[in-house]
Structure 1
Amino acid sequence: MARLIYSALASLDGYVEDAQGGFGWAAPDDEVHAFVNELERPIGTYLYGRRMYETMVYWETVDTSGDQPAVIKDYAQIWRAAEKIVYSRTLQSPSSARTRIERDVDPAAIRQLKESSARDISIGGAELAGEAIAKGLVDECHLFLCPVLVGGGKRALPADVRVQLELLAEHRFRSGVVHLHYGLRD
């Protein structure tokens, strides 16, 4: 059975976007990016909300033939090889290959996907992931805490949800970013 995994780069005070919607402060350096690539390599399907998909579709067209760093080229290949499911009521057609649009989040369909998938599944976007966490669908969480306080914005984790976590691993990077890997308990 595949695991449903939520990964996010967040400020130390728990935000994936600041109050202005910016997230440039979370851009990973090559060391963090290479680590993320290894976490993403086993992913067979990405689940996205519309806004996260519109951010991530960059990887469909990024030039990988030029002077891009190796971590960028590697991640583009990882992303392009995976299936994508985008949950949106407004998006009419996908902007990437291997992508389908679903109008509503169906927990039973996600459970079925987990049961039938040979590879792990990633859920991206704090709001979509928060909904999945609240419904008990998420198995693991990778948080990359960046050494910055942004004071407000979009939360990385849902409010008003109580879930027991088990620390599975941790890693500190030279940049001051800390990776925390948690299992979510029922």
Structure 2
Amino acid sequence: MGRLVYSMITSADGFVRDDDGVFDWGEPDEEVLAAINEATAGAGTYLYGRRIYELMHVWETDPAAAGQSPQSAEFATIWKRAEKIVYSTTLDQVRTERTQLRRSFDPAEVRALVDAAPGDVTIEGPTLASHALREGLVDAVHVWVQPLVLGSGLPFWPGSRTDLTLRSERSFASGTVELVYSLR
């Protein structure tokens, strides 16, 4: 039985992108990317909203993404071998292999997927994750907090109470902090 893990990079004030939709400030350095690789290597399936999928598909569709560094190449390998499910009402088709398109988020289907998974299933994108959090499907949160404040943007956390238990923390030379929580 797997776990559903909400996983993303955020600003210190809890945003995943700024008001202009910019996320380039969240690009991890090699040390942080190595930690992300370690954390996601065992995930067999990624659940994405449209926007995060459009950001992530370059790991398969653009060889330059994997060619940036050894850690980038490793992440591309991890990403390509995982199954992906994209939830979107506006996306016409997916651009990557091992990827399915769903028009709506079905909590029962997601719970069955996670229960049958031999490893973790990650959910990325705060809009999609908010549905899973409201349904009580998320087992853990894995967040890499970047050392900057955006002031506003798309929030990582849903607009409702979420009780957490800190399971681990780690800091990096860049000032990024990795936090792992379980949900109570």
Q: TM-score, normalised by structure 1?
A: 0.95
Deviation string 1:76-134 (CA, Å, 9 cap, x unpaired) is 00000000001111222210000111111000001100111112100010110111111
Q: State the match for 1:77 in structure 2.
A: 77
- Measured after TM superposition, the shift of residue 67 of structure 1 is 5.1
Q: Does the 8 Å CA contact 1:44/1:82 hold for their aligned counterparts?
A: yes
Pairs within 5 Å for 1:116-155: 116-155=116-155
Partner of 1:22: 22
Aligned to 1:166: 165
User: Match for 1:150: what amino acid?
Assistant: L
The equivalences for 1:36-51 within 5 A come to: 36-51=36-51
Counterpart-to-counterpart distance in 2, 1:77 and 1:87? 23
CA 1:134–1:66 in structure 2 vs 1: closer, same or farther (change >3 Å)?
A: closer
Task: Name the residue aligned to 2:115.
Answer: 115
Shift of 1:10: 0.7
Tell me which residue corresponds to 2:34. 34
CA distance in 2, matches of 1:37, 1:81: 13
The alignment partner of 2:63 has SS state of coil
Distance 1:181 1:149 in 2: 20
Following superposition, the deviation at residue 28 of structure 1 comes to: 0.5
Asked if the contact 1:45/1:121 (under 8 Å) is kept, the reply is: yes
Normalising by structure 2, report the TM-score. 0.96
Hey, what does 1:12 align to over in structure 2?
A: 12
Q: Show the counterpart of 2:2.
A: 2
Any stretches of 5+ residues in structure 2 without a counterpart? none
2:131 alignment partner, SS class = helix
Q: Secondary structure at the match of 2:118?
A: coil
Task: Count matched residues.
Answer: 184
**Does the CA contact (< 8 Å) of 2:83 and 2:98 recur in 1?**
yes
Cα shift at 1:62:
3.0
* 1:50-80 C-alpha deviation (Å, 9 max, x unpaired): 1111111011123279853100000000000
Q: 67-76 or 146-155, which moves further after superposition?
A: 67-76
Quote the offset at 1:162 in angstroms.
1.6
Write the letter of the residue equivalent to 1:133: L
Distance 1:67 1:127, change over 3 A: closer
Q: Please give the alpha-carbon distance, in whole angstroms, between the structure 1 residues aligned to 2:77 and 2:6.
A: 20
